[in-house]
Amino acid sequence: MSEDATTAWIDAETKVAEAPADHRAELRLWLRLLTCTTLIETEVRQRLREEFDFTLPRFDLLAQLDKAEDGLVLGEISKRLMVSAGNVTALVERLLESGHITRTASPTDRRVQIIRMTDAGRTSFRAMADEHGDWIGRLFEGLEAADMEALMRLLGKLKGSVQTAIREGTKT
C-alpha cells in the first residue's frame, strides 16, 4: 500500500475522532484496528521488499509451508491464505522460479499438486521470519507485557463476537 493510502486510513480515523458524536463507538474502534493493521502491514511489506526483494504474499505462502513438513495441496494453501486458487497459482509459479518450493503430483491422484518448500527455500524463509519477528517486536516496543496480554484477551473476545455475528447472520 502506498504512503498516500496509509495516510488516507489515518486521516479517516482522525476525521472520525474529530466528530465522535457522528459515529458509533464500534465504527471508531473498527477504524482504529484498521489503521493499526494498515500501518504494520505497510511497514512489513516495505521491509520485505527492501531487505529481501520479497513480497508479503510470497512470505505468507512460505509461512504456511514451513508449518507443513509434508507439503500442502493448492486448495489447502488457498484456504489458509484466504485467497483464490488463481492467486495461489501465481504465487506458486514465482516461488517455483526462484527455487523456494517444489510442485509434485500426488501419488494417489495425479490431478492434485503437492507444494513443498525446498531446503534453500526453508533457509531463506527462516532468515526472513527471524527479521520479521524483530520488526514486529520493534513496532510493539511501546506496549508493556500487560498491555499486550489485555489486547490479546480483548481481541480474542472481539474475534468471538464477530464469528458469532457471522454465524447468526448466515442463519437469517
In this predicted model, what pLDDT tens digit does every residue of 34-76 receive, in sequence order? 999 999 999 999 999 999 999 999 999 999 999 998 999 988 9
| pLDDT, greater one: 101 or 21 | 101
Q: What is the spatial distance between Cα 91 and Cα 147, in angstroms, rounded to a whole number?
A: 36
Name the grid cell of 103: 510442485
In the chain, % of residues over pLDDT 70: 85
Q: What count of Cα atoms within 13 Å lies in the side-chain half-sphere of residue 107?
A: 1
The pLDDT assigned to 5 comes to: 57
Pairing of strands 72-73, 113-117: antiparallel
pLDDT reported for residue 85: 85
Q: How many CA atoms lie within 13 A of 63 on its CB side?
A: 14
The DSSP 8-state label assigned to residue 68 in this structure reads: -
Residues of the chain above pLDDT 90, percent: 72
Does pLDDT of 12 surpass 80? no
Task: Return the C-alpha cell found at 69.
Answer: 513438513
* pLDDT the model gives residue 39: 96
Rg value, the chain, Cα = 20
- Does pTM top 0.85 for this prediction? no
pLDDT digits (tens, 9 = 90+) for 119-140: 999 999 999 999 999 999 999 9
Section 134-153 average pLDDT: 97
Q: Which fold has domain 54-121?
A: Arc Repressor Mutant, subunit A (1.10.10)
Burial of 171 (0-12, 13-18, 19+ CB in 10 A): exposed
Position 111 scores a pLDDT of: 85
